Amino acid sequence: MIRYDNHPSGRHFLQIPGPTNVPDRVLRAIDRPTIDHRGPEFARLGRSILDRIGTVFQTKEPVVVYAASGTGAWEAALVNTLSAGDAVLMAETGHFALLWKRLAERLGLAPAFLPGDWRHGADVDAIYARLADDRAHAIKAVCVVHNETSTGAVSDIPGVRSAIDRAGHPALLLVDTISSLASIDYRHDEWGVDVTVAGSQKGLMLPPGLSFNAVSPKARAASRHATLPRAYWGWDEIIESNRNGYWPWTPATNLLYGLDAALDQLLEEGLPNVFARHARHGDAARAAVRAWDLEILCANPAQYSNSLTAVLMPMGHDADALRKLILERFDMSLGTGLSKLAGRVFRIGHLGDFNDLALMGTLAGVEMGLALAGVPHRAGGVDAAMKALVNAAGAAAANAPHAVAGARQVETVR
């Protein structure tokens, strides 16, 4: 018999950049009995989700929900808007940008890949230059990964939108937010994005299995002329069925229960607070890395990710050996280096259902692992992170004196 939970005691620390830890309230929601996906109770569930999911994307436009992984949502974004042979401009920001390009090639598209060093976000100036040279408007879409999960570098989506507009180019803007949605501020409508791609297993705090396309009116207009084959992925039939709270095919009922509960949790906290929490944890994690005298993979501080931190290992030391030791000794999973970063980096996930004490436990595990593995570093990363969190808490209290006073008064009454 396979044992799925072989941890000796305490909780396993799942600190990869996704799938992330699923909150108890979401797990309990998923555990409900399955219902008739054509009945009135399901329609109420569907409308509860569809009426609120746009808030997370910061859009008033339709959000299409698929029973699929994020890769499915990548494919849906392309096949709904493009035709065979169309040129697509894509930025090489890391492993997942590379995978999206390979998918585009398999669909019969013609990606132009702007080279990158896997340490920076998309080069906005290079995007502008390529579009300005495309006077025949052969390029039909620009595809950018907002938060590159393999590198911990964030791309400037408003800057990309500005580059498209400055070039006077009609290309669609397609953005992958799989590891940034509900973690890093993202604004589908305000930033002029045409298709936003997302997945369930990161900031939305669900297991893998749901993915999303938020679609602009321009994207829906393009879909009427696009000729790439699509059946399951087609937007129009889904959006029409969604009007009454249903899907045209069998939906992932129990994952939708979980999504409804996850939306409750996110909207109760409030998106600005969610973004501030992730920023606080990103700052503290990077403070620890700097105190250890290790190098953050993302080379531009303005592009640091608040979802994860990718850490470069010193020459001659294997990141996977360190990860293996930490898993065996401390029951904690860290993210591996992907493709050409294999063995060179480990990634600390700090997104989703995550708080200050979870971060401190994570960083303590890393620091103990560095010592046991004999990786050259300075001690004190945990202390540096703790100081960053204390300073952030003090600043928050100073900015909300009335709330603090009210809390003290309630405690006095008790």
Residue 394 confidence (pLDDT): 87
172 by DSSP, 3-state: which?
strand
In the chain, count of helices (H) and strands (E)? 15, 14
Q: What angle do CA 54, 60, 65 make, to 5 degrees?
A: 40
3-state SS of 252-283? CHHHHHHHHHHHHHHHHHCHHHHHHHHHHHHH
The helix (run of H) or strand (run of E) holding residue 411 is helix 401-413
Round to whole Å and give the CA distance between 164 and 146: 16
Residue 402 confidence (pLDDT): 54
The model carries a pTM of 0.94
Tokens of 71: 């890769």
Rounded average pLDDT per 10-residue block, the chain, 414 residues: 70 96 98 97 98 98 98 98 98 98 98 98 98 98 98 98 98 98 98 98 98 98 98 98 98 98 98 98 98 98 98 98 97 97 98 97 98 98 98 85 42 34
Residue 397 confidence (pLDDT): 80
Listing DSSP states for 293-333 in one string gives T-EES---GGGB-SSEEEEEPPTT--HHHHHHHHHHHH-EE
Residue 395: burial class (beta carbons within 10 Å; 0-12, 13-18, 19+):
exposed
CB 207 within 8 A of CB 223: no
Listing DSSP states for 180-238 in one string gives TTTTS---TTTTT-SEEEEESSSTT---S-EEEEEE-HHHHHHHTT--S--STT-HHHH
Helix axes 271-291, 253-269, angle to 10 degrees: 80
Tokens of 63: 């959000």
Residue 35 confidence (pLDDT): 97
